[in-house]
């Protein structure tokens, strides 16, 4: 187990450094907080072999993690101990990367580390809701129930994501084919027409000259154009991952047709995560903080995370959510009813199910509308290019007549 050096403030007012063995820096901090001390910093002390395993660099794939939890649930239901369950799953694991992770998790469990702390030590490699749910299951002794609820949550999110991706396959292929057609026309067809028109001793129309000039420049500088597009894409991706994440996610919520779906998907992630955590026994404030981390939209996540302090001070959940401005009125009313009747987890499940159905309906309408829109736009672009090709011929035929 790794060793951490923690700088704490004691109850006597002294600031000292203490050494402790823990699964993660967070676990080390919690150890001293339980003793009534204020924690300033926590840093890694001595190194062990497991410290050289990459942690938090890319999450485990959803399908692989879903399969792992299904197998773990089946083994726990059969009454097998956790260590023996890990041994069995290691024999069946074919992914080299995940196998190394499972071996380290097993070693941590053998050394006495709690399962929740072992998974938490891997940071963003596993969802934060998972380690928190495991911790609640360990405290209540209902690990099987926690795994079952988490699997239900994971399947709902995965199925919705799969439906969204499936619905966007055809429009994406249509856009790709249209862009490819325009690119071929600009780089191969138009230059051929330019050579053809050079044989005529006539002034070409302005629109045709502009189109030919653009196509010629694109063909002669195709390498620089590709490099510029790749560089711009890399810079945009870097900006989105760092300082521009919140602004980018704010813009996504205002995209016509798709913005409403993205907004409801973020809210469904939050309500489903919060309901899963609360039903597993996690207290309200930590559940809000962790559920906000499960939201992929940074703007919605940031606004929801900010209400944790208000709820900690005694403000009702529904009122805090209403003040964020990102929760729909219907969801606020349903959560309000759930709080007042003591059936908040059931009401959160109803809200999540409502969003799921609404996303399905909106997605069907968007897919039905986006296909003709793409066809109209790309048809208009191709028509303009054809107009630029044949406009000189029309003019020449009129002169000849």
**147 lies in some domain:** no
- Distance between CA atoms of residues 21 and 142, nearest Å: 27
Task: Give mean pLDDT, residues 27-41.
Answer: 74
Regarding predicted confidence, which is higher, 49 or 63? 63
117 and 229 part of one domain:
no
Q: Which domain holds residue 28?
A: 3-52
**Nearest Cα to 49, choosing from 116, 102, 2, 93?**
2
Reported as a pLDDT band with limits 50, 70 and 90, residue 257 is: confident
User: Could you report how far apart the first and last alpha carbons of the chain are, in Å?
Assistant: 92
Reported as a pLDDT band with limits 50, 70 and 90, residue 231 is: very high
92 and 222 part of one domain:
no
- Distance between CA atoms of residues 64 and 79, nearest Å: 23
80 and 29 part of one domain:
no
* Res 103 pLDDT > 70: yes
Residue 216, classed as helix, strand or coil, is helix
289 and 327 part of one domain:
yes
Instruction: Name which of 167-171, 193-197, 208-212 the model is least confident about.
Output: 193-197
User: What is the count of structural domains for the chain?
Assistant: 3
Contacts of 347 (CB under 8 A, 6+ apart): 334, 335, 337, 338, 341
- pLDDT value, residue 26: 67
Residue with token string 């129930």 = 145
- Distance between CA atoms of residues 259 and 267, nearest Å: 13
362 and 234 part of one domain:
yes
**Nearest Cα to 201, choosing from 396, 397, 401, 398?**
396
38 and 68 part of one domain:
no
**141 lies in some domain:** no
- Long-range pairs, 332-336, Cβ under 8 A, ≥24: none
How is residue 123 written in tokens? Answer: 């940071």
CATH number at residue 206: 1.20.81.30
Task: Give mean pLDDT, residues 195-211.
Answer: 73
- pLDDT value, residue 356: 84
Bridge partners of residue 9, in order along the sequence: 15, 38
Measured at the CA of 94, the angle between CA 92 and CA 97, to 5 degrees, comes to: 125
Q: At what angle do helices 206-220 and 222-241 cross, to 10 degrees?
A: 80
17 and 88 part of one domain:
no
Task: Let me know: does 369 contact 168? Beta carbons within 8 Å.
Answer: no
* Res 59 pLDDT > 80: no
- pLDDT value, residue 40: 65
- Distance between CA atoms of residues 363 and 165, nearest Å: 10
Q: Dihedral, CA atoms, 139, 145, 146, 149, nearest 10 degrees?
A: -150
- Distance between CA atoms of residues 197 and 200, nearest Å: 5
Q: Give the side-chain half-sphere CA count within 13 A for 146.
A: 24
Residue 238, classed as helix, strand or coil, is helix
276 and 379 part of one domain:
yes
- Distance between CA atoms of residues 246 and 265, nearest Å: 16
Residue 400, classed as helix, strand or coil, is helix
How is residue 119 written in tokens? Answer: 């998974």
Q: How far is CA 196 from CA 199, 200, 248, 399, in A?
A: 6, 8, 46, 18
237 and 290 part of one domain:
yes
**156 lies in some domain:** yes
47 and 66 part of one domain:
no
227 and 343 part of one domain:
yes
- pLDDT value, residue 386: 78
Is the whole-model pTM more than 0.75? no
Regarding predicted confidence, which is higher, 398 or 160? 160
- pLDDT value, residue 3: 67
Residue 39: φ, ψ to 5°: -95, 130
Task: Let me know: does 92 contact 76? Beta carbons within 8 Å.
Answer: no
Residue 388: φ, ψ to 5°: -65, -35
Task: Give mean pLDDT, residues 60-71.
Answer: 84
- pLDDT value, residue 50: 45
41 and 182 part of one domain:
no
State the CB neighbour count (10 A cutoff) for residue 376.
10
């Amino acid at each position: 187990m790794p060793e951490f050096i923690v700088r704490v403030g004691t109850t006597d007012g002294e600031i000292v450094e203490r050494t402790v063995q823990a699964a993660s820096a967070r676990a080390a901090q919690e150890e001293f907080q339980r003793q009534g001390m204020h924690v300033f910093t926590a840093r890694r002390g001595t190194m062990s072999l497991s410290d050289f395993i990459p942690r938090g660099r890319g999450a485990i794939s959803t399908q692989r993690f879903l399969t792992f939890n299904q197998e773990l649930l089946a083994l726990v239901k059969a009454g097998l101990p956790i260590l023996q369950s890990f041994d069995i799953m290691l024999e069946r694991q074919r992914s080299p990367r995940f196998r190394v992770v499972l071996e380290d998790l097993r070693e941590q469990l053998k050394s006495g580390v709690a399962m929740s702390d072992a998974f938490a030590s891997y940071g963003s490699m596993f969802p934060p809701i998972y380690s928190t749910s495991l911790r609640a299951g360990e405290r209540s002794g209902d690990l099987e129930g926690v795994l079952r609820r988490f699997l239900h949550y994971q399947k709902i999110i995965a199925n919705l994501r799969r439906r969204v991706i499936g619905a966007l396959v055809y429009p994406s292929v249509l856009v790709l084919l249209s862009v490819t057609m325009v690119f071929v026309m600009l780089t191969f067809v138009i230059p051929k027409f330019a050579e053809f028109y050079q044989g005529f001793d006539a002034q070409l129309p302005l629109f045709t000259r502009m189109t030919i000039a653009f196509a010629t420049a694109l063909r002669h500088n195709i390498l620089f154009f590709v490099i510029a597009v790749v560089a711009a894409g890399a810079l945009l991706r870097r900006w989105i991952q760092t300082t521009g994440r919140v602004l980018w996610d704010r813009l996504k919520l205002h995209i016509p047709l798709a913005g409403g779906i993205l907004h409801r998907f973020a809210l469904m992630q939050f309500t489903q995560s919060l309901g899963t955590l609360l039903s597993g026994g996690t207290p309200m404030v930590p559940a809000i903080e962790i559920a906000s981390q499960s939201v992929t939209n940074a703007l919605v996540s940031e606004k929801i995370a900010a209400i944790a302090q208000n709820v900690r001070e005694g403000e009702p959940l529904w009122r805090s959510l209403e003040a964020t401005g990102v929760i729909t009125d219907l969801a606020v009313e349903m959560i309000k009813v759930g709080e007042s009747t003591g059936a908040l987890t059931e009401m959160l499940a109803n809200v999540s199910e409502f969003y799921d159905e609404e996303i399905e309906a909106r997605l069907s309408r968007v897919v039905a509308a986006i296909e003709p829109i793409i066809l109209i736009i790309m048809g208009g672009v191709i028509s303009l290019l054809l107009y630029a090709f044949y406009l000189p011929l029309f003019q020449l035929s009129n002169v000849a007549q």
